Amino acid sequence: MQIKHSKYKNTGILFELLVRQITTDTLDGKDSPAKDILKKYFVKSELGREYKLYETLLKKTSLTEGKANIVVDTLIESSKTLNRGAIKRQKYNLISEIQKHYNLNEFFNHKLPNYKIFAAFYTLTEVANIQQPGNPEQTINNKVTILEHLTAAKIKEDKVRDDVMNEFENADKDVRLLAYRLVLENFNTKYDTLHPKQKLILKEYITSIDNTPRLREFYTSKVNEIKNELNVLNKRTKNKATQIKINEIINIIDTPSKNARITDNDLVDLLQYYDLINELETING
């Protein structure tokens, strides 16, 4: 029996998309319904317990093949102890609630870095929890995908996943900072307070993270904009030493090549350049 993967039913994907939606809503300066949805369905619930299996899978990396097999077998066996009926009802209600606040096509129209691993784990657990035998070829392919992840891949988000669940058990903490850490973990947390142009950079990074050409085009436009603004400010600056420093900065800001890949560090540079512009504007009045 071939198991068809469904992102609408995949607990790991649902969790990731809700966190991304919280980030987007927060950067737009509005309250995020996704925050309450995540708390309602993933904190101290059967769905939350199932997500813990996905979370554990992501956190286990660089294992030997023997240990990796043990992890897979243990997680699949753990999935059998969950209340499948409760999970099915909670997923149905979760999707219904998401639909009340968001366009489902837009909500699910995002590529996730862990999609392939989540899809493989979903199909393996589905096979384990049905009475009929699964498709051997499908099971082998999915297990290979997960074993390759467990034995080699490095997952950047693993450090903050515990924080995500703890965060939503305490509604008083700063959800925006949490979301930044999850999606943009290499960004300096000093950007807790952002001015509009920095918010635009973060928002574009999140929405274009899977679209390299678009992100490169955006980055190039911002680099040119920053250079122009610095040139204007330099002419208004009376301090000669400051003028020299501004010229040095302008000279080291390079536009990316045609095939360049924009990294987190590049985006951090943009944030810092706009911090400098903001400071110069304040000094020059």
* Residues 113-162: tens digit of each pLDDT: 889 999 999 999 998 887 555 666 778 788 888 888 888 643 333 333 34
If one compares 121 and 206, the residue with the highest pLDDT of the two is: 121
Q: What are the residues whose beta carbons fall under 8 Å from the beta carbon of 220, sequence distance 6 or more?
A: 255, 256
Q: What are the residues whose beta carbons fall under 8 Å from the beta carbon of 238, sequence distance 6 or more?
A: none
Whether 194 has a pLDDT exceeding 90, the answer reads no
Taking alpha carbons only, the member of 275, 196, 277, 273 closest to residue 234 is 277
Which tokens hold the place of 23? 């980030």
Q: pLDDT band for position 103 (50/70/90)?
A: very high
What pTM value is reported for the model?
A: 0.57
Whether 43 has a pLDDT exceeding 80, the answer reads yes
Please, what is the average pLDDT of the chain? 79
- The answer to whether the Cα torsion of 52, 58, 62, 66 is positive or negative is positive
**Which secondary structure element, helix H or strand E, spans residue 30, and what is its range?**
none
If one compares 70 and 162, the residue with the highest pLDDT of the two is: 70
Q: DSSP letters along 227-278, please?
A: HHHHHHHHHH---HHHHHHHHHHHHH--PPPTTPPP-HHHHHHHHHHHHHHH
Which tokens hold the place of 19? 């966190």
- DSSP structure class, residue 29: T
Taking alpha carbons only, the member of 12, 281, 9 closest to residue 146 is 12
Q: DSSP letters along 163-201, please?
A: HHHHHTT-TTS-HHHHHHHHH-TTS-GGGGS--HHHHHH
Q: CA-CA distance, 195 to 177, in Å (whole number)?
A: 15
Whether 191 has a pLDDT exceeding 80, the answer reads no
Per-residue model confidence (pLDDT) at position 177: 39
Amino acid of residue 36: D
**Which secondary structure element, helix H or strand E, spans residue 32, and what is its range?**
none
Angle between helices 175-183 and 11-27 (to 10 degrees): 120
- What number is the average pLDDT over the span 237-263? 82
